[in-house]
Amino acid sequence: MGDAAKKLPRIEINPKLCKGCSICVDFCPTNVLEMRGTCVAVKDLAACTRCQLCDLRCPDFAIQVFD
């Protein structure tokens, strides 16, 4: 478990596509994301569990989480 936890995921946000609805922020179980103006941003990458919920519920193809 130790190894996997150390490697941080890569969260790709496409600011051209993000419409700032904040759905991903609101549903992230571990509070990784936050709104900065009208675009989402990563606030606490280490907390990300790679659960993909942000991607799954983003209506705009604007966020994806890579291992």
Partner 1 sequence: MSVPAEKKEKISVPFDYNKYLRPGKLPHIWCPGCGHGIVLKAMLRAIDKLGIDKDNVCVVSGIGCSSRTPGYVDFNTLHTLHGRALSFATGIKLARPDMKVIVVTGDGDALAIGGNHFIHTCRRNIDITALVFTNAIYGMTGGQYSPTTPLESIATTSRYGNIEPPFDTCEMAKAAGATFVARGTAYHTLELEKTIYEALMHKGTSVVDIIDACPTYFGRMNKYKSATHMMEAMEKDGTVSVKQVDKLPPEKVAGKMLRGVLHKIDRPEYCEQYALLVQEKAQAKSK
Beta bridge partners of 33: 42
Q: How far is the CB of 14 from ligand SF4 (least distance, A)?
A: 8
Q: How far is the CB of 67 from partner 1 (least distance, A)?
A: 3
Q: How far is the CB of 2 from ligand SF4 (least distance, A)?
A: 19
CA–CA distance, 64 with 52 (Å, rounded to integer): 7
Distances (CA, A) of 42 to 3, 15, 57, 60: 22, 12, 16, 17
Convert residues 15-44 into a mask of x (bound to partner 1 by CB under 8 A) and - (unbound).
-xx-xxxxx--xx-----------------
